[in-house]
Every structure is written in structure tokens, then in C-alpha cells.
Structure 1
Amino acid sequence: MNSLDYFSNLKDEESIALRVDELEKVYGILRAGKNSEGYSTLSIKIGESDMETDLGPAAILRADFPQPKNIMLFCMGALSENEDAVITGEVDGMLKFDPRFLEFGTHVLFITNATEFGHRINMALAKEKNAFSSPFIHDGFGLINYRELNNYSGALGLFTKDIRYSWQREFRISFGIESTGLNSRGAYEFQVGDISDISHICPVQAMIDNPITIKRRNFKKTDAGYEQVTD
């Protein structure tokens, strides 16, 4: 796992919107000027004086996460439906991997039992004495919410990213690690044990060349449980 600080400074990847994100360690942005609610102003007040100085219509206030070198991320892609009941990138029931995934590496590790994977992560994390939580981290896991951030004003947190990263369909895990638990590169080596029973490896190129067919089933609730009604 690497830190918020690490992902904010991968300048060599900036052109392809891969992992680098200059907003990664930014908790929120406030902008003066016109917005969807009307008009906002930012002012500064020094000491006990009642006087406030308006910073002008172009003022921007940025708040960064505390301890960005100690808030760690583990980032994955997730095949999950959005609010419209489709998977990002799905077309006519087919899902094709974006060729940009080859920039991450030659192979992808598929987790075949997400519930068990989460259980093992929780068990491993419970044993880590250097781990800590924070109100800034929220629940510590979840899907990324993608939105246009060019002129955005408001809270960002760990689970909002610019729309240009949406092709990644990211799901991330995050928690804090004290500096004593980090390796010499400032990363955290999270040991979750053998997961070969709930995963398999596939070439990324094969996923690009052979789109996944999405098959959905509908169920209705009965007194005995759930009954499949259509494919």
C-alpha cells in the first residue's frame, strides 16, 4: 500500500491519468465567485479584530489531509453496477477492458469471493498494532465517485476523483499506519495471507481482446425465500 503523498507526486504518469492525482491528498476545496448556489466569498480575519478582508472573486482555499504520508491506499478495479444498473463501460451487455490497463502491468488478479476477501482483510488489519482510523478516512473502503472537478467547490475526501479516471472503476481500501510500520520507501506491506483459493490470474490483453458477457437474473421474494423469474 502506498500513501496519499505518494499518489500525489507521480508526475511521470500525469499524461495518461493512471495513478497520479494532484488532488489525492486534498480533503476539500472552496472557491469564491459564482456557483450553483449563487455566489460565495472568502475572507480572512486576523487576531481579535472584527475586521475581515475579502480575498476577491478568484480566491481558492484548499485543505489537505493531515498526515498524508501515513494514510495508506490499496486500489483495485471493481465490476459493479452504478445508479443506472449498468457497469461503467458496459455496452449492450458486453464489458471490455480499457487498453490503458496495460499500463498497470501484463496480468490482472481476479478476486472471485469478495466477501471472503474482505473478511481476511479485516482479520489481518485487526492484528496490525500500527494501524489507526480517522474521521477523515470515513468507513475506510468503498467505490470511487467520479465527477467533474475542474471548478468544483466542496469536500472531496478519499472516495471522490475526477471523471477522467472513471475508466478504472476503482474500489479502494484505506487506513492509517504509524511511521514505525512503514518500510524504507514509505509504503506499507499489508500481509493478508494466501488468497489463491479465492482468486485467479489472467492476462490483461486477454481481457481486452475478449469482452466479458454480462448476464443478469431477476428474482422475486416468496415465503420460501427468493425465486428466479427471468434471465
Structure 2
Amino acid sequence: MTTFHRARSEEQRAVRRQSILDTAAGMLDEMPVAAVSLNELSRRVGLSKSAMSLYFESREAVLLGLLTEAAARYRDEVAETIAGWVDRSAPAPARARQVAARLAATFAAHPMLCELLSVQHVILEHNISVEVATGYKRSSRDAFHWLAARLGDLLPELDDERALRAAHMVIILVGALWIRSRPAPSLLAAFQADASLAFMHPAFTEAFEAAIGTFLQGLVAETAEAT
């Protein structure tokens, strides 16, 4: 544990905030999101809970900040390669499947992002002020539009509205399938003991690729029917 003195400049406050986020990220390597407590986080950072409130109003606000950072890292990484995700001479259904495969692989490579997305509605978006909620949702809005623009470039058959629907569904499916692919130990044992239950324990990458691939192909077909 590191003991900090009071941050007096904006630069010092930024360093302190980043230290808190980095410490929370380290805790997620050891435990599920639900087990991350403000008490333990403040102990590891070396600040009292009252001092922590100068930087984040709650545990959930810390984790939302971590989610925002993780999403930004994902976008920065993907931005370097996404233009080459598809064979642009291929028909739209084939490109939709190519996009689905790359989305599945890239999200699977960012487990903390997927973990946080899987609990954002049931855990992270509670116990926060309107100010924090507004800031987070505006950041999410911009991220949706960024992904929609990239999907529209890879699948120009989609209009703006359908590209945005596709981006939204990507995030919904990441969260839903990530948490379903990581059941509690008792459920995992049940799945392993009874083969008839195996379909209820999907592998994240395969399930996400199939689901978003089907959704993208459906949007392409829907657009074609509308024109």
C-alpha cells in the first residue's frame, strides 16, 4: 500500500485518479467485479474513503471510469487494423461474416472490457450521480457512433440507422454472452456432468461470432429489401 499526500494541482489530481483506476484494474485480475469493494480499493491505494471521494464518488464511478478507459484502448487498437478486416471484393454476406469473426477475436482479447460490459447495467450504473451518469452515457454515445461509422465503412450496404443498430447490438451481445460463458462453479459442474445442458454454456468467441454475424447479415438483407 502506498500512502499519498493531498493532491494540490490538477496534474497531481490526474495522477491520483489514474493510480486509483490502475489499482482497480489490478483488483479485477484477482476477483470478479462484484467483489471489488471501496474499502479494499482505498486500502490498496493508500487513501481513506473520504479522501477517495475527492476523485470518485463511489465504487461504481471508479469502475465506470475503468470501463471508459478499457473501451478507449479497444478503439485505439482496433483503429490500426479495422480497415483490413474484410475482402472488399467479397459479397456483403461474406463481409458480414468476416466482420463478425474479427469483432469476436478482438473483444475476446480484451477480457476486462468484456467483464465490465457484462455488468454495466446491473452493477455499474447504480449508486452514481446524474453528473457521472450523463458523462458516462455521452462517452458511450460517442463510442457507439465511432463503431457504427467503422461498420458502415466495412459494410457500406448499411445506412446510418442500421449501422448504429449494429454497433448497439455488438455491445449488447458482448455483455450478455461474456457473462453466460463464465458461469458460477456449481453451474459449470452441472454443465460438465450432463451433456444435455452443454448448449446453455456457450463459448464466448464462437457464440458471439455466430450471433453478430447473423444479425449483420440480417441488416444487410433488410437494407436491400428497403431499397
- TM-score bracket for this pair, using the shorter chain length: under 0.3
Identify which of structures 1 and 2 has the higher relative contact order when contacts are C-alpha pairs closer than 8 Å and 6+ apart.
1
Write 1 or 2 for the structure with the bigger share of helix. Answer: 2
Write 1 or 2 for the structure with the bigger share of strand. Answer: 1
What's the TM-score once normalised by structure 2's chain length?
0.25
